[in-house]
Chains A and B, each alone.
Chain A
């Protein structure tokens, strides 16, 4: 469930009405956990509506999330929906979009992309269980170049995606046969005229998504391998694999070197962003157009829900310095704390992905309350969102940093390297401050809460 506010009408005109503003007012007053709610912004959406939405965001409850209507209408059109149906569509859950009331768009399973790299680096074996999980694509110590390594990763990716699709299709057939959704079939268009169930080709559109998780973790790990192992040769492959396998025990200096000296995704850095774009495009190639059981096909989605936490738990350490068991990056967001150049650099990096190829991307952005103090700051937030959407962004949501987050940052600074403390004429990273000043910033954040 997701309450969609704003957006456009089926004739393409702006869909914001007085009711939209009333809904925002109500949201500001009641602190709603479910259903999720979102504002939908097109190039025709008035600034006033976006501004009012951002004022609710500033409250720090993590909503509403913000969707780019123009981008997702294009996504739906690309998948073959009619213009009318695409414009009437929106977001129904977290970030995935579809043609409301006319489509069964099934999330058929999450894909742990960093795990595929982990398996590649262990020649098909899952190092966590010690069991063979996939095909052999070569001992990484024999790779002569980054291209060799990347080719092995892509081979693993295709093998695993194809296997996943076979399993998904089997499950979908079971649903069609044993689990009819009668009520959904009544309310979803074309089921009755076709005389078929929601799970059995009844709806007008029948889409299957595979949701890929961990673009940031994968990109940053590949960046470490490309730069330090193959190009600069500052870290031998053997040493990196050893460090990863022993969870960087006794290798803290190496881990810090990796964290601080590698181009990471989310900094508008061409080196890292090119890797991200390549991975994203290759994920698309591995999934897009593969037939599902309903005469239609699979599409790429970049949704993670909360799976990035679970996926992290079943993984060892990764080459980007992430320790075993810790969450991988979510959706298309940068790895935790890897984005050290502020929010404009983050959206520039994300803007390089051709997001129309997906059925949804996810960007969680942390924001210090000091960046939203004045009315003019709220206006600048709307401009940041407009900028991201001008770059083709699908979705963005803001987590306003609270004192609990800052305390967590004191405990595990490396996950919070993005926290910038800014005042007029001054800026510094929270992690770089001494204890007294950190306490001071925590106290100020408490005061600045809205």
Chain B
């Protein structure tokens, strides 16, 4: 069993063809701009959507720990009392109250994946394991990769590569393509923005390139964080220095859409108020040129 926070069908941004994407819960990184903040914690979490709440207070009555109160700002949860038992989410008629994170078995997930077979066949698509960080669930991930391999289903793993090299190699050899996230080259900055240093990530990228495993690189472009010329040049130099073919690079311009999910989780988005913004078309153009000078074609969007 493993904890997932979403299963997305008709996924068209997560690898070739029409795909189904499984979002594993839990991530060793904690990037301040994270689009899916409910993917960071490896525990179940409560999410509350104010605009769905009709104020019926069914949850307040159902809570065995008296953790909920109804206020002018909707339902407020007392984190000290809440045991995450999920009773509130079970009874909530509008699903304003939800528990993010559901335990799934290999059998169940294979059934979900194979529901999409007709689309895989028509589009050369397949399954993408994403997160959070799928490598935090190695046992279940390996089983799924092996079964999908046996059944001819194309496998993509979208990973931060912040994991032991042995595990990375094992997973990589069971995959058809890796999507590797690369945020920035400076390890100190990486630690500040993402919670961990980046040496392990960079050495893992070099390792999979040396072994010859197909991978492409996804880089979020966040003005104020990593779009400066120095970082982009260092990134391009690093990728150009790797053995084998130049990897494909996808640039993902930043958006502060994650604010919404932080609202649901009751957490605060970007608490240190780091200035972050979307780079302009012109800036993106310059960034692509830098990559091109290093022999790398960078596309925009996943």
Binding site for B on A (CB under 8 A): 252-257, 260-261, 268, 341-345, 348, 351, 371, 373-374, 376-377, 380, 383-384, 386-387, 390-391, 413, 422-428, 431-437, 440
Chain B residues with CB under 8 Å of A426's CB are 35-36, 255, 257-258
Chain B residues with CB under 8 Å of A434's CB are 50-51, 260, 263
Q: How far is the CB of A341 from chain B (nearest CB, A)?
A: 6
- Centre residue among A253, A384, A423, A425 by max chain B CB count within 10 A: A425
Asked if B193 is an interface residue, CB under 8 A from chain A, the answer is no
Which of B93, B121, B264 is the one whose CB lies under 8 Å from A253? Answer: B93
Complex Cα distance A386/B8, Å?
20
Chain B residues with CB under 8 Å of A348's CB are 115, 118
B237-278 contact mask (Cβ, 8 Å, vs A): 1 or 0: 000000000000010100101111101100000000000000
Would A268 and B115 be within 8 Å (CB), given that A380-B17, A383-B17, A437-B259 are in contact? yes
Chain A residues with CB under 8 Å of B52's CB are 431-432
Decide: A424 and B118 in contact? CB cutoff 8 A: no
Decide: A380 and B115 in contact? CB cutoff 8 A: no
Q: How many A-B pairs fall under 8 Å by CB?
A: 116
Decide: A424 and B259 in contact? CB cutoff 8 A: no
Binding site for A on B (CB under 8 A): 6, 8-10, 12-14, 17-18, 35-36, 49-52, 54, 56, 58, 93-95, 115-116, 118-119, 121-123, 125, 130, 218, 250, 252, 255, 257-261, 263-264, 301-302
- Extra contacts, 9 of them, besides A422-B13, A432-B52 (Cβ < 8 A), are A256-B54, A342-B8, A344-B9, A384-B10, A424-B252, A425-B218, A425-B252, A433-B51, A434-B50
What are 8 A-B residue pairs whose CB atoms fall within 8 Å in the complex?
A342-B9, A344-B116, A348-B118, A423-B257, A424-B13, A425-B252, A428-B257, A432-B51
- Centre residue among B17, B95, B122 by max chain A CB count within 10 A: B122
Q: How far is the CB of B224 from chain A (nearest CB, A)?
A: 19
Decide: B123 and A383 in contact? CB cutoff 8 A: yes
Decide: B95 and A260 in contact? CB cutoff 8 A: yes
With CB as the reference atom, state the residue of chain A lying closest to B181. Answer: A425
Chain A residues with CB under 8 Å of B14's CB are 424
Decide: B118 and A390 in contact? CB cutoff 8 A: yes
Q: How far is the CB of B39 from chain A (nearest CB, A)?
A: 10
With CB as the reference atom, state the residue of chain B lying closest to A371. Answer: B12
Would A343 and B10 be within 8 Å (CB), given that A387-B122, A425-B302 are in contact? yes
Decide: A383 and B122 in contact? CB cutoff 8 A: yes
Decide: A427 and B93 in contact? CB cutoff 8 A: no
Complex Cα distance A428/B258, Å?
10
Chain A residues with CB under 8 Å of B257's CB are 423, 426, 428, 437, 440
Chain B residues with CB under 8 Å of A413's CB are 51
Chain B residues with CB under 8 Å of A377's CB are 12
Decide: A391 and B9 in contact? CB cutoff 8 A: no
Complex Cα distance A348/B119, Å?
10
Q: How far is the CB of A234 from chain B (nearest CB, A)?
A: 11
Complex Cα distance A391/B33, Å?
41
Q: How far is the CB of B232 from chain A (nearest CB, A)?
A: 19
With CB as the reference atom, state the residue of chain B lying closest to A414. Answer: B94
Complex Cα distance A436/B262, Å?
14
Chain B residues with CB under 8 Å of A257's CB are 93
Interface residues of chain A: helix, strand, loop or mixed (majority): helix
Q: How far is the CB of A158 from chain B (nearest CB, A)?
A: 35
Chain A residues with CB under 8 Å of B121's CB are 387, 390
Chain B residues with CB under 8 Å of A384's CB are 10, 18, 119, 122-123
Q: How far is the CB of B62 from chain A (nearest CB, A)?
A: 12
Complex Cα distance A255/B93, Å?
8
Decide: B93 and A380 in contact? CB cutoff 8 A: no
Would A391 and B93 be within 8 Å (CB), given that A383-B123, A432-B51 are in contact? no
Chain A residues with CB under 8 Å of B93's CB are 253-257, 260-261
Decide: A374 and B8 in contact? CB cutoff 8 A: no
Which of A344, A428, A431 is the one whose CB lies under 8 Å from B10? Answer: A344
Chain B residues with CB under 8 Å of A261's CB are 93
With CB as the reference atom, state the residue of chain B lying closest to A351. Answer: B118
Decide: B9 and A345 in contact? CB cutoff 8 A: yes
Q: How far is the CB of B2 from chain A (nearest CB, A)?
A: 20
Decide: A341 and B95 in contact? CB cutoff 8 A: no
Complex Cα distance A341/B302, Å?
21
Q: How far is the CB of A367 from chain B (nearest CB, A)?
A: 10
Decide: B12 and A380 in contact? CB cutoff 8 A: yes
- Centre residue among A252, A374, A428 by max chain B CB count within 10 A: A428
Q: How far is the CB of B210 from chain A (nearest CB, A)?
A: 27
Chain A residues with CB under 8 Å of B49's CB are 432
Would A427 and B260 be within 8 Å (CB), given that A253-B56, A374-B301, A383-B17 are in contact? no
Chain B residues with CB under 8 Å of A422's CB are 12-13
Which of B18, B252, B301 is the one whose CB lies under 8 Å from A344? Answer: B18
Complex Cα distance A418/B4, Å?
21
Q: How far is the CB of B25 from chain A (nearest CB, A)?
A: 15
Which of B130, B260, B301 is the one whose CB lies under 8 Å from A433? Answer: B260
Would A260 and B12 be within 8 Å (CB), given that A348-B118, A383-B123 are in contact? no
Complex Cα distance A253/B92, Å?
9
With CB as the reference atom, state the residue of chain B lying closest to A383. Answer: B123
Decide: B259 and A341 in contact? CB cutoff 8 A: no
Complex Cα distance A110/B257, Å?
45
Chain A residues with CB under 8 Å of B12's CB are 371, 376-377, 380, 422
Would A424 and B10 be within 8 Å (CB), given that A252-B54, A437-B260 are in contact? no
Complex Cα distance A142/B22, Å?
46
Q: How far is the CB of A96 from chain B (nearest CB, A)?
A: 26
Complex Cα distance A423/B220, Å?
12
Q: How far is the CB of A94 from chain B (nearest CB, A)?
A: 26
Chain B residues with CB under 8 Å of A260's CB are 93-95
Q: How far is the CB of B59 from chain A (nearest CB, A)?
A: 11
Which of A252, A341, A344, A428 is the one whose CB lies under 8 Å from B260? Answer: A428
